[in-house]
Amino acid sequence: MTDLAGASIIVLGATGGLGREFARQLADAGARLTLTGRSMLALDDLDIPGAALIPADLTDAGEAEKVVAAAITAHGRLDGVIVASGAVAFGPLAETADATLEGLWAINVLAPLRVLRAATPALAASAADGGSPFVVSISGVVAETPTAGIGAYSAVKAAQAAAHQVAARELRRSGIRVMDARPGHTETDLSRHPLAGERPAFPVGYAPAAVVSRILDGVRAGEKDLPSSAFQGLPTASI
């Protein structure tokens, strides 16, 4: 079992729909948080007492190291990283511009891997001190089932899932658990602010609070992977 009370945890994308829920639920669980996002105003609006607020664009080199250092400075250690950041784009693959492809890759794959790399020594130190350090990646159902109309997004999320699944095997001996979660469509603003294209007519998605609760239950229970089937039966959002 992993106890979240007192754990020092970084939440990437803390101002997004899932990120806000992670921040709130982790704060309620007694975690010590380092919250990142591009806007300091949006971070302030989260109103999480005691959290270290670090505005950062993690697609820029050096920002990952800054965030990890800030977490250690604020809380003395690092026990977990949750990747709740991301970006989506819609449209046929053959019509997807280079700028969109590069943006999707930088936000969904490169940035989380930079943070994982920067965080690994501190997470390994947590394990050596008797902790249960973890990294949570949220690649989503498209990593399992690539979908027409969001092909570029499906491709980068599959890459995100693959990278973190490899990291899970490589970091296991260091005592670091890396868990990839692949929930189905969840009702956040992500799909309403795409890098390109227009949001199609999706069925109503899962309630963000329910998805986050399920992922944190998995963290507590020591689960190593959360496929899309692990989220079946969760309540949908009220919209």
pLDDT digits (tens, 9 = 90+) for 69-120: 999 999 999 999 999 999 999 999 999 999 999 999 999 999 999 999 999 9
DSSP state letter for 60: S
CATH superfamily of 8-223: NAD(P)-binding Rossmann-like Domain (3.40.50.720)
Q: Find out whether 87 and 108 touch, Cβ atoms under 8 Å.
A: yes
Name the residue type at position 28.
Answer: D
- Tell me: the pLDDT tens digits for 8-54? 999 999 999 999 999 999 999 999 999 999 999 999 999 999 999 99
DSSP letters along 19-32, please? HHHHHHHHHHTT-E
DSSP one-letter code for 230: G
Q: Which residues are catalytic?
A: 153
Q: Spell out the SS3 assignment of 176-191.
A: CEEEEECCCCECCCHH
Phi, psi of 5 (to 5 degrees): -65, 125
Give CA 152 to chain center in angstroms.
19
Task: Give me the residue spans of the domains in the chain.
Answer: 8-223
Q: What values do phi and psi take at 82, rounded to 5?
A: -120, 120
Greater confidence (65 vs 200) lies with 65
Helix/strand/coil percent split, the chain, to 5: 50, 15, 35
Q: What is the DSSP letter of 38?
A: S
* pLDDT level of residue 239 (50, 70, 90 thresholds): low
Spatial neighbors of 12 by CB under 8 A, at least 6 apart, are: 19, 36, 58, 67, 81, 82, 83, 84, 85, 111, 112, 115
Q: What distance in Å separates the CA atoms of residue 101 and residue 189, rounded to the nearest whole number?
A: 20
Q: Give the C-alpha separation, 172 to 169, whole Å.
A: 5
Instruction: Tell me the two tokens of residue 152.
Output: 């570029």
Element (H, E) at 65: helix 63-75
Structure pTM?
0.96
Report residue 1's pLDDT band, with 50, 70 and 90 as the boundaries.
confident
